């Protein structure tokens, strides 16, 4: 443990949020790369495919998702099936002096109309695959052509309407966009907490009991004059319980604590039990709940004994009697308070 506790709480708050910067930065880099590689904007907002652009050039220019109007489509007589049944019907048409294959959804072609005068569709341009080559082979046999002959007349790219799923694309876009905004928000907040530690959640919890800046300064001053009890990451000064761990920070006035107890967690790998860790749970007035995870039993026992001695009104140990007594003192927390407590754990 350090011998010098000058501004120790502030230093740990800054160190905590400097470590937390890593995750949102990496996630945002991944999102930016994925957005560029997979052209995610085109997934939700397909480009308009004009008549002067071939399927091949559109595909090579990352405009695979497109919206277009086609005319004079003829049914080939072939369909595409999956485990749920028929997923599409193959048509052919002439577009810009190029014969192309179009896979239409059953609803668009009314499950295989012989011909369609005009259709507006949103689809995906796909490169020829084994199934596409099999289709051309069968069509060549039907027309008494050679396979190479029909391949020379038909584009090696085709339009698939069923492969463009707006619902899935919208969900994907919403998830990526939403999580990206959350990562940016976390990044901004972490940077703010680094430069202004008094704005961090652990310091703002002190606002429940007074001016957070003044209470933080008092806690820093008491800790700097050496704590009355200290473990690796928990301290007790004259008026405060302080936690400065890699999991979070906490500052609680001792006279506001109403209940403390420890909870044990058995860590195991398959059937092998390799350690037990203990979490200190603290309930304070104004519905303030603090958890100090992954400590050793002797440290938590020492903290609990000292807190019980410093404030004789503190309820010690987890049992039904203490739980009901705390509920009587605190009342049942509102859902809004539970939500705020959940957010603080995430930040």
DSSP 3: S
Distance from C-alpha of 206 to C-alpha of 276, rounded to nearest angstrom: 32
Q: Which of 178, 162, 154, 193 is closest to 74 using CA atoms?
A: 154
Q: Give the residue-averaged pLDDT of 40-52.
A: 79
pLDDT, residue 341, reads 56
Q: Which two tokens stand for residue 187?
A: 């990044």
Q: Which residue segments constitute the domains of the chain, with CATH numbers given?
A: 44-164 (2.40.50), 200-345 (2.30.29.30)
| CA–CA separation, 219 and 216 (whole Å) | 5
Mean pLDDT computed over 283-311: 92
| Most confident segment among 152-156, 179-183, 325-329 | 179-183
Structure-token match 């009342």, residue found: 331
pTM for the whole structure: 0.73
Residue 167's H or E segment, with its range, is helix 166-195
Distance CA 186, CA 209 (A): 26
DSSP letter, residue 108: T
Would you place residue 334 in the very low, low, confident or very high pLDDT band (cuts 50, 70, 90)?
very low
pLDDT in tens, 211-263: 999 999 999 999 999 889 999 899 999 999 999 998 899 999 999 999 999 98
User: Is the pLDDT at 326 greater than 50, yes or no?
Assistant: yes
Mean pLDDT across the chain, nearest whole number? 87
Average pLDDT over residues 109-127: 91
């Amino acid at each position: 443990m350090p011998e010098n506790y000058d501004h120790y709480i502030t230093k740990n708050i800054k160190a905590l949020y400097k470590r937390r910067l890593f995750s949102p930065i990496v996630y945002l880099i991944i999102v930016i790369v994925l957005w560029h590689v997979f052209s995610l904007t085109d997934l939700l907002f397909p480009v308009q495919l004009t008549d002067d652009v071939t399927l091949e050039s559109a595909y090579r220019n990352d405009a695979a998702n497109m919206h277009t109007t086609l005319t004079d489509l003829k049914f080939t007589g072939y369909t595409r099936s999956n485990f749920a049944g028929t997923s599409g019907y193959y048509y052919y048409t002439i577009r810009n002096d190029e014969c192309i294959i179009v896979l239409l959804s059953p609803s668009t072609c009314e499950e295989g109309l012989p011909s369609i005068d005009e259709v507006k569709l949103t689809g995906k341009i796909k490169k020829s695959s084994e199934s596409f080559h099999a289709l051309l082979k069968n069509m060549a046999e039907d027309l008494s052509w050679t396979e190479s002959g029909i391949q020379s007349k038909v584009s090696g790219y085709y339009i698939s309407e069923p492969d463009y799923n707006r619902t899935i694309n919208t969900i994907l876009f919403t998830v990526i966009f939403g999580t990206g905004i959350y990562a940016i928000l976390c990044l901004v907040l972490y940077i703010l907490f680094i430069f202004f530690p008094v704005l961090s959640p652990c310091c703002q919890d002190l606002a429940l009991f007074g001016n957070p800046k003044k209470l933080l300064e008092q806690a820093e001053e008491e800790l700097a004059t050496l704590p009355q009890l200290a473990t690796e990451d928990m301290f007790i000064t004259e008026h405060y319980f302080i936690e400065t761990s890699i999991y979070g920070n906490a500052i609680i006035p001792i006279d506001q604590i109403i209940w403390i107890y420890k909870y044990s967690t058995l860590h195991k790998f398959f059937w092998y039990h390799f350690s037990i860790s203990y979490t200190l749970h603290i309930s304070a007035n104004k519905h303030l709940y603090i958890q100090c995870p992954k400590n050793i039993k002797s440290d938590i026992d020492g903290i609990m004994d000292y807190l019980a001695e410093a404030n004789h009104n503190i309820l010690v140990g987890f049992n039904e009697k203490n739980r009901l007594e705390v509920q009587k003192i605190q009342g049942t927390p509102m859902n809004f308070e539970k939500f705020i407590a959940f957010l603080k754990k995430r930040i």
